[in-house]
Homo-oligomer: A and B are copies of this chain.
């Protein structure tokens, strides 16, 4: 057991410790946020990555991140980074997990609160088009594991070439995919990845991309319609070379 720099404080209660806490006495870790921004495009689950221009991990890919200001909430820092680096706001953002190993960043002690965000591919592409200054990409996520197991994942660019992730970002992304899969069945999270009006086939494609497996079409339709979370609009999709399907809307069901 290594020496604890706060050993002299051990006999104190938390309260005494806090009351006598001298903020300059012990070094504090930096606190950052990392943003796992995912979308479904062309039937694939994808994540926004930036290629690092500087050492360390130069040339590797990382998810956007930033430090938490002393006067802003951690959630607020996540929304700020989303706005500053991706030019997006108002989309679904949820805290994922906090990564706090001392050596996860080679330069200094950084504790990172990871967030995952979801947005339609259309909205994301529009936001990215307005600022092509940074080297960024929408990479496809491949999970070597099935179900909701979790673990590190692989990412590939449009040509199928594998991309190297910086730091512990492969692990972070794995946790994000695991969380996303776990929430899919019991929360209306998939609608974050669809436009306001969508067909049941589009909804199923989103589910299949997230779960990385095919679903039974009829059971899927029955379950979705039975949940009462979608409402038929009466309108039909257009610009398809086959029979157009009916368009639905997500109607959040009141939690009685």
Task: Judge if A242 is at the interface, Cβ distance under 8 Å.
Answer: no
Number of interface residues of A (CB under 8 A): 56
Secondary structure of the A contact surface, majority rule: loop
Q: How many copies does the complex hold?
A: 2
Chain B nearest CB from A58 CB (Å) reads 8
Chain B nearest CB from A233 CB (Å) reads 30
Contact partners of A72 in chain B: CB under 8 A: 4, 102
Contact partners of A10 in chain B: CB under 8 A: 84
A70 touches B109 (CB 8 A): yes
1/0 per residue, CB under 8 A from B, across A77-111: the answer is 00010001100000000010110111001011101
Contact partners of A85 in chain B: CB under 8 A: 14
Give the residue of B28, B66, B73, B105 whose beta carbon is less than 8 angstroms from that of A31.
B28
Contact partners of A54 in chain B: CB under 8 A: 13, 15-16, 18-19
Give 12 pairs: A residue, B residue, CB < 8 Å, sorted on A: A5-B71, A13-B134, A17-B67, A21-B30, A21-B107, A23-B108, A28-B28, A70-B109, A71-B102, A73-B101, A74-B111, A149-B255
